[in-house]
């Protein structure tokens, strides 16, 4: 998780928050009249709510209707917006070597993570084996004009590791359309910065995966986005073992070798989307993350492994300020 850190400022910052996408979201706006800021922030939160209702994976939505059709072997009409999201998700799935794959919705459900209440039991072994043998993926989904279909009945889409990033990019567009030039958008640890906070860069903290408070802080430039995947965000424990929502599609099991992984995305088109997406495959990749990061064109990465050791790219190391001093066990990579 990442959060905005308070700092002294010359002018007040408008702050609105809500609970969307299963997490706390914040919109901070600087350098704008209070009434105008309130209107702009409200427009962002309305879009967040619309995205959540439209693409909810297990409550009635356009996405759950598509999943029902796929399970029944039927084609389903999709909106141009959903078609565009599918096409981009398929591109990112292939780019990440299928470690990011929104087509694993059935696996997420088997592990009990498509629920407001987390399970206290492991999934059925036979069902898990059947899923692993079929290995459904976004690449199994076919788009033909306005219709989506698949021959893979176990394919189900879950945009949970994708939609918050899309929402960041939408928020930036909405805010800019409302005349906002300086803002910080935080969706449960996925953050995008616009402009500055009264002339100073927006400063955020990166959650320590095993301690309260931040592991490090970082100042964000205009247009940068940051995202974290952590095994502390959504998990259950059974017989002393932690099972998180971060599932490896290759094994169909939760990842055990990593506690947290943070990426910083420099300004580019769809920086918010990439900040949400990229942390997942790099988290799953484990020690192979530097190679995959190069493939994804992500230069700024911070990883904490299962033993609490820190691995960090040189570019990210140069940007971080560690809270309480640099960790004793740290490896800096190029």
Binding-site residues for Mg(2+), in ranges, read: 161, 276
**What sign does the dihedral 26-30-36-40 (CA atoms) show?**
negative
**Residues of each annotated binding site:** 161, 276
Q: What tokens appear for 41 in the block?
A: 């922030």
Choose among 151, 60, 72, 154: nearest CA to 110. Answer: 154
Q: What tokens appear for 236 in the block?
A: 């259950």
Contact by Cβ (8 Å): 137, 103: yes
């Amino acid at each position: 998780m990442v959060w905005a850190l308070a700092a002294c400022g010359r002018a007040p910052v408008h702050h609105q928050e809500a609970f969307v996408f299963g997490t706390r979201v914040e919109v901070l706006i600087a350098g704008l009249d209070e009434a105008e800021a309130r209107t702009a922030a409200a427009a962002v939160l309305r879009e967040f709510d619309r995205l959540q209702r439209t693409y909810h994976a297990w409550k009635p939505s356009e996405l759950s209707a598509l999943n029902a059709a796929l399970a029944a072997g039927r084609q389903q009409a999709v909106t141009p917006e959903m078609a565009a999201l599918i096409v981009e998700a398929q591109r990112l799935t292939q780019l990440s070597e299928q470690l990011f794959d929104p087509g694993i919705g059935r696996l997420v459900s088997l592990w009990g993570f498509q629920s407001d209440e987390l399970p206290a039991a492991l999934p059925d072994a036979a069902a898990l084996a059947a899923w692993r043998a079929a290995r459904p993926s976004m690449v199994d989904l076919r788009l033909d004009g306005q219709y989506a279909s698949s021959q893979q009945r176990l394919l189900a889409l879950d945009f949970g590791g994708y939609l918050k990033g899309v929402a960041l990019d939408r928020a930036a567009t909405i805010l800019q359309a409302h005349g906002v030039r300086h803002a910080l958008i935080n969706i449960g640890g996925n953050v995008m910065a616009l402009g500055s906070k009264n002339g100073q860069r927006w400063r955020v903290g990166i959650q320590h995966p095993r301690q309260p408070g931040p592991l490090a802080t970082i100042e964000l430039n205009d247009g940068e986005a940051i995202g974290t995947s952590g095994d502390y965000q959504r998990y259950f424990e059974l017989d002393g073992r932690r099972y998180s929502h971060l599932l490896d599609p290759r094994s169909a099991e939760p990842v055990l070798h990593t506690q947290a992984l943070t990426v910083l995305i420099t300004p580019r088109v769809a920086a918010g989307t990439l900040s949400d997406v990229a942390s997942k495959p790099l988290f799953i990749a484990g020690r192979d993350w530097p190679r995959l990061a190069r493939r994804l064109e992500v230069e700024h990465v911070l990883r904490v492994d299962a033993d609490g050791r820190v691995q960090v790219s040189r570019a990210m190391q140069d940007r971080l300020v560690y809270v309480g001093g640099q960790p004793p066990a740290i490896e800096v990579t190029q």
